[in-house]
Chain A
Amino acid sequence: MIQNSGRSGCLNTEGEVHATEVKVNEVEFNPQFVSRMIPKLEWSALIQAAEGVGHRQDLPDTLVSNYENDEDFLHKVHRVLLEVEVIEGSLQCPESGREFPISKGVPNMLLNEDES
């Protein structure tokens, strides 16, 4: 899920995630790692992606301050960031509407000759 937080194939805007198959793995929780990752994320993109795969878990629209000490919050972010995996689905670029398929967990962002 990390990729979906603030990335797109066209410009740096949020992409919509559609998932037909989602897998939730169990990953060892490392609060320091999650804290370090949060500033690197585009929060709104993460929320949108989380919602798209049905794992928003009542995460807030905007990032609250002092999240480093909120273990509950970090756990939720950990889940969405590292545990939820889109196996089959697609990423949609909001600018162009172009859909990029996700198959077996691997998104295909290849552009056609005329697109790049």
Chain B
Amino acid sequence: WFWPLARIVEHIPGRVFFCCRAALQELMRLKSAERLFLLLRKAPPTSLPKNPGITQVCSKVKCIFIRTFRLRFRLSFLYPINDAFLVLPPAKAASMIQQSIVGNPDVWRQALSTWAALQAELNGSHGRGQKRKREEEEDDVNGIKESVESEDACGLGQNRPTFRVSCRCSGAIARCCNSQNLSRIIGVAISQQLGWKADLRHCKVILCFAVYAVVNDLLSFISYCLFFDASVILDPMCGVGTILLEAAQECPSAVFIGMDSEEAQLQKAAENVEAAGQVNRMLLVQSSYIPLPTGSVDAVLCDVPFGRRFSCSTDMTSALPRILAEMERVLSDGGYLVLLLSLQLSGQIKKLVKSNTPNPESRAAGRNTKSPDHTHGVSKHSSEPDENRETERLKLSSLLLQNTHRVSLGSTDAIIHTYTKTHTLTH
């Protein structure tokens, strides 16, 4: 009987999105729905920003909606957080959230008054007596006293309601964020910026936050180099310089070196550097190895080309150990190496470098004696198997895998590896 009145906008398993003009009471009588959500506000889809910065780690609240909860309404918020947030030190994370979560106070005021109006209408017609007895008892136990008399609803005209934050984290965020902590941080931000009064025991409105991680852009991994004083940052396969230029935005006090073996790519990179006004901080070199002294670079960032031929006689999988060794060599102690890899390359590298994370599959590089089997096909550069095995054992043993992180690049997935250099090996 209801559907002729409603226009279905969208449906996914478990959810139906619809628009209708039905009165609130009719909606509340829907028996086929367990929960009803009223969408108040939806932020426009986050288009991939051109320059994702650390400031975009915590985006604005994406959706505000009112959902029914046993004949009461809750103001609910969907709050996406950029996956780069996962590596922020706690103090920085807290301040990031506080700065970005509130946004436009008018939006909040509007949401609040809609909520209040709905609340009043619902309880005006049902009256408090109709609330199920069990719920009342539950409320008293939880110490929640939601005032539903109409004069209190009008009292919200002051726009300073008492509130409490209930926060639920999902996915990757849940593993590293304590939701109680997050609740507190959000609560502080709201009371400071909106002037609402936080009251855990007696509050008029409960604000429910669902916090989830959003993989923003493949360039978000640049955020890794923000937490330490990197002066010199290298991209040894820079192509047209995309990553370096993004990093230059984020690290105003660093100098960047880009290398590539292809002249055409470097020329384009030079144009991009000039267009970005970063000529003074960027150095471009045409090379297929890394002509820099040992330990001279604070960070290496690299989007390892998936299918590209490394030089005219080797392909990426054969050349990978040698490339990694060079990256390791030029890194200073405590330096970071961040790589964006295809799933295949990721698997290959995992066998070469020891990991800081508990992973039964990883082996220490020193014990890797399978080296001739790893190379796919014969390459000119590894023509002496003995020397290869010797260098394999020495190579990469001061790199320690800190973190892997899967990202979606649209049609494929990729994995970000983060390494630190622990001590300088003497060869």
User: How far apart are the CA atoms of A34 and B261 in the complex, in Å?
Assistant: 29
**Shortest Cβ distance from A8 into B: residue:** B291
Say if the beta carbon of B279 comes within 8 Å of chain A: yes
Which secondary structure dominates where chain A touches chain B? loop
Chain A residues with Cβ below 8 Å from B293 are 6-7, 12, 42
14 A-B residue pairs with Cβ-Cβ distance under 8 Å, sorted by A, are A2-B255, A6-B296, A8-B291, A36-B231, A37-B231, A37-B232, A106-B270, A107-B285, A107-B286, A108-B263, A110-B288, A113-B313, A113-B380, A116-B289
User: How far apart are the CA atoms of A62 and B170 in the complex, in Å?
Assistant: 58
B245 CB to closest chain A CB (Å) equals 16
Chain A residues with Cβ below 8 Å from B313 are 113
Chain B residues with Cβ below 8 Å from A82 are 255, 280-281
Say if the beta carbon of A27 comes within 8 Å of chain B: yes
User: How far apart are the CA atoms of A82 and B280 in the complex, in Å?
Assistant: 6
Chain B residues with Cβ below 8 Å from A28 are 280
A59 CB to closest chain B CB (Å) equals 19
Say if the beta carbon of A65 comes within 8 Å of chain B: no
Residues of B at under 8 Å CB distance from A? 229, 231-232, 253, 255, 257, 261, 263, 266-267, 270, 279-281, 283-289, 291-294, 296, 312-313, 380-381
A109 touches B253 (CB 8 A): no
A109 touches B279 (CB 8 A): no
User: How far apart are the CA atoms of A63 and B280 in the complex, in Å?
Assistant: 24
Given contacts A109-B286, A110-B286, A116-B381, are A37 and B291 in contact (CB under 8 A)? no
Chain A residues with Cβ below 8 Å from B229 are 36
Within 8 A of B (CB), among A65-116: 82-83, 104-111, 113, 116
- Give the 4 A-B CB pairs with smallest separation, nearest first: A109-B287, A27-B280, A108-B286, A9-B291
Chain A residues with Cβ below 8 Å from B296 are 6-7, 40
B292 touches A7 (CB 8 A): yes
A106 touches B287 (CB 8 A): no
**Shortest Cβ distance from B284 into A: residue:** A106
User: How far apart are the CA atoms of A40 and B286 in the complex, in Å?
Assistant: 22
A13 CB to closest chain B CB (Å) equals 9
Chain B residues with Cβ below 8 Å from A12 are 293-294
Given contacts A6-B296, A40-B296, are A109 and B270 in contact (CB under 8 A)? no
Counting chain B CB atoms within 10 Å of each CB, the highest count among A6, A7, A27 belongs to A7
User: How far apart are the CA atoms of A30 and B231 in the complex, in Å?
Assistant: 12
User: How far apart are the CA atoms of A12 and B266 in the complex, in Å?
Assistant: 24
A78 CB to closest chain B CB (Å) equals 11
Chain A positions 14 through 32: 1 when the CB is less than 8 Å from some CB of chain B, otherwise 0: 0000000000010110101
**Shortest Cβ distance from B258 into A: residue:** A106
B231 touches A105 (CB 8 A): no
**Shortest Cβ distance from A28 into B: residue:** B280
A7-B291, A7-B293, A104-B267 given. 19 additional CB < 8 A pairs? A2-B232, A2-B283, A3-B285, A3-B292, A9-B287, A12-B293, A32-B253, A33-B231, A37-B232, A40-B231, A82-B280, A104-B270, A106-B266, A106-B285, A107-B286, A108-B263, A109-B286, A109-B291, A110-B286
